[in-house]
Amino acid sequence: MKSKEIRKKEENASSILIKRILIGAAITAGLFFVILCIVSFAALKSDMGEGAYASAGRAVAIVSGFAGGFVSVLPVRKKGLVTGAACGALGAVPAMVAVFFANTASSPLGVLILLLIFTSAAAVGGITAANIRKKQKFK
Protein backbone atom coordinates (compact mmCIF):
# COMPACT_ATOMS: atom_id res chain seq x y z
CA MET A 1 0.00 0.00 0.00
CA LYS A 2 2.80 2.40 0.83
CA SER A 3 4.58 1.81 -2.46
CA LYS A 4 1.45 2.87 -4.38
CA GLU A 5 1.25 6.10 -2.37
CA ILE A 6 4.93 6.83 -2.96
CA ARG A 7 4.54 6.13 -6.67
CA LYS A 8 1.49 8.40 -6.84
CA LYS A 9 3.38 11.22 -5.07
CA GLU A 10 6.30 10.85 -7.51
CA GLU A 11 3.94 10.98 -10.48
CA ASN A 12 2.21 14.02 -9.02
CA ALA A 13 5.54 15.78 -8.43
CA SER A 14 6.73 15.08 -11.97
CA SER A 15 3.46 16.26 -13.49
CA ILE A 16 3.66 19.49 -11.46
CA LEU A 17 7.22 20.00 -12.66
CA ILE A 18 6.21 19.47 -16.29
CA LYS A 19 3.29 21.90 -15.91
CA ARG A 20 5.60 24.53 -14.41
CA ILE A 21 8.07 24.11 -17.26
CA LEU A 22 5.31 24.47 -19.86
CA ILE A 23 3.88 27.54 -18.13
CA GLY A 24 7.33 29.12 -17.92
CA ALA A 25 8.01 28.32 -21.58
CA ALA A 26 4.74 29.94 -22.61
CA ILE A 27 5.59 33.03 -20.56
CA THR A 28 9.08 33.12 -22.09
CA ALA A 29 7.82 32.92 -25.67
CA GLY A 30 4.89 35.29 -25.12
CA LEU A 31 6.96 37.89 -23.33
CA PHE A 32 9.64 37.66 -26.02
CA PHE A 33 7.20 38.39 -28.82
CA VAL A 34 5.38 41.18 -26.95
CA ILE A 35 8.56 43.02 -25.96
CA LEU A 36 10.07 42.44 -29.40
CA CYS A 37 6.99 43.99 -31.03
CA ILE A 38 7.33 47.04 -28.79
CA VAL A 39 11.04 47.34 -29.58
CA SER A 40 10.37 46.88 -33.29
CA PHE A 41 7.74 49.61 -33.23
CA ALA A 42 10.14 51.96 -31.42
CA ALA A 43 12.89 51.11 -33.91
CA LEU A 44 10.52 51.80 -36.79
CA LYS A 45 9.64 55.24 -35.42
CA SER A 46 13.27 56.17 -34.78
CA ASP A 47 16.16 55.71 -37.16
CA MET A 48 17.90 52.84 -35.45
CA GLY A 49 20.85 51.29 -37.28
CA GLU A 50 20.74 47.73 -38.52
CA GLY A 51 23.38 46.65 -36.04
CA ALA A 52 21.13 47.62 -33.16
CA TYR A 53 18.40 45.16 -34.16
CA ALA A 54 20.45 42.10 -33.23
CA SER A 55 21.54 43.62 -29.93
CA ALA A 56 17.97 44.59 -29.06
CA GLY A 57 16.76 41.07 -29.90
CA ARG A 58 19.39 39.53 -27.65
CA ALA A 59 18.51 41.90 -24.81
CA VAL A 60 14.83 41.01 -25.16
CA ALA A 61 15.78 37.30 -25.17
CA ILE A 62 17.70 37.75 -21.92
CA VAL A 63 14.83 39.55 -20.20
CA SER A 64 12.13 37.14 -21.35
CA GLY A 65 14.26 34.06 -20.61
CA PHE A 66 15.01 35.29 -17.10
CA ALA A 67 11.34 36.07 -16.45
CA GLY A 68 10.18 32.67 -17.71
CA GLY A 69 12.73 30.76 -15.64
CA PHE A 70 11.92 32.83 -12.57
CA VAL A 71 8.16 32.31 -12.87
CA SER A 72 8.47 28.57 -13.51
CA VAL A 73 10.61 27.91 -10.42
CA LEU A 74 9.13 30.42 -7.95
CA PRO A 75 6.16 28.31 -6.71
CA VAL A 76 8.21 25.14 -6.34
CA ARG A 77 11.61 26.55 -5.31
CA LYS A 78 13.38 23.32 -6.18
CA LYS A 79 15.64 22.32 -9.06
CA GLY A 80 16.11 25.88 -10.23
CA LEU A 81 18.88 25.24 -12.73
CA VAL A 82 17.28 22.28 -14.47
CA THR A 83 13.74 23.66 -14.48
CA GLY A 84 14.86 27.09 -15.65
CA ALA A 85 17.07 25.70 -18.41
CA ALA A 86 14.31 23.40 -19.65
CA CYS A 87 11.85 26.28 -19.60
CA GLY A 88 14.24 28.50 -21.55
CA ALA A 89 15.05 25.86 -24.15
CA LEU A 90 11.39 25.05 -24.69
CA GLY A 91 10.41 28.71 -24.79
CA ALA A 92 13.12 29.47 -27.32
CA VAL A 93 11.74 27.08 -29.94
CA PRO A 94 8.95 29.38 -31.23
CA ALA A 95 11.33 32.33 -31.25
CA MET A 96 13.99 30.38 -33.16
CA VAL A 97 11.46 29.20 -35.73
CA ALA A 98 10.19 32.76 -36.21
CA VAL A 99 13.72 34.15 -36.54
CA PHE A 100 14.72 31.39 -38.94
CA PHE A 101 11.76 31.99 -41.27
CA ALA A 102 11.70 35.78 -40.97
CA ASN A 103 15.38 36.19 -41.73
CA THR A 104 16.37 33.75 -44.47
CA ALA A 105 19.94 35.04 -44.42
CA SER A 106 20.47 34.17 -40.75
CA SER A 107 23.10 31.60 -40.06
CA PRO A 108 22.38 28.48 -38.03
CA LEU A 109 25.02 29.72 -35.62
CA GLY A 110 22.91 32.81 -34.85
CA VAL A 111 19.91 30.62 -34.09
CA LEU A 112 22.02 28.46 -31.77
CA ILE A 113 23.33 31.57 -30.02
CA LEU A 114 19.71 32.63 -29.47
CA LEU A 115 18.99 29.21 -27.93
CA LEU A 116 22.02 29.55 -25.67
CA ILE A 117 20.94 33.03 -24.57
CA PHE A 118 17.40 31.88 -23.75
CA THR A 119 18.58 28.78 -21.90
CA SER A 120 21.25 30.48 -19.83
CA ALA A 121 19.05 33.46 -18.91
CA ALA A 122 16.19 31.16 -17.87
CA ALA A 123 18.59 29.01 -15.84
CA VAL A 124 19.81 32.12 -14.00
CA GLY A 125 16.19 33.14 -13.41
CA GLY A 126 15.42 29.68 -12.04
CA ILE A 127 18.42 29.75 -9.72
CA THR A 128 17.40 33.21 -8.51
CA ALA A 129 13.84 32.07 -7.79
CA ALA A 130 15.02 28.93 -6.01
CA ASN A 131 17.30 30.92 -3.72
CA ILE A 132 14.77 33.54 -2.63
CA ARG A 133 14.05 33.17 1.05
CA LYS A 134 10.57 33.43 2.45
CA LYS A 135 9.84 36.37 4.68
CA GLN A 136 10.03 35.51 8.35
CA LYS A 137 7.17 36.59 10.54
CA PHE A 138 8.21 37.88 13.90
CA LYS A 139 5.99 37.15 16.86
Residue 67 domain-assigned? yes
Task: Please tell me the predicted confidence (pLDDT) of residue 67.
Answer: 92
Residue 135 domain-assigned? no
CA 58 to chain centre: 13
The structural domain count of the chain equals 1
Task: Please tell me the predicted confidence (pLDDT) of residue 104.
Answer: 57
Cα torsion angle, 24, 91, 82, 135, sign: negative
Mean pLDDT confidence for 89-94: 88
Domain that holds residue 110: 8-130
Task: Please tell me the predicted confidence (pLDDT) of residue 108.
Answer: 74
* 3-class secondary structure, 107: coil
Residue 2 domain-assigned? no
Task: Please tell me the predicted confidence (pLDDT) of residue 63.
Answer: 93
- Return the C-alpha torsion angle 98, 101, 106, 109, nearest 10: 60
Res. 117 pLDDT band, cuts 50 70 90: very high
As a whole number of angstroms, the distance between CA 87 and CA 92 comes to 8
Burial class (CB in 10 A: 0-12, 13-18, 19+), 133: exposed
Mean pLDDT confidence for 55-84: 88
Task: Please tell me the predicted confidence (pLDDT) of residue 8.
Answer: 61
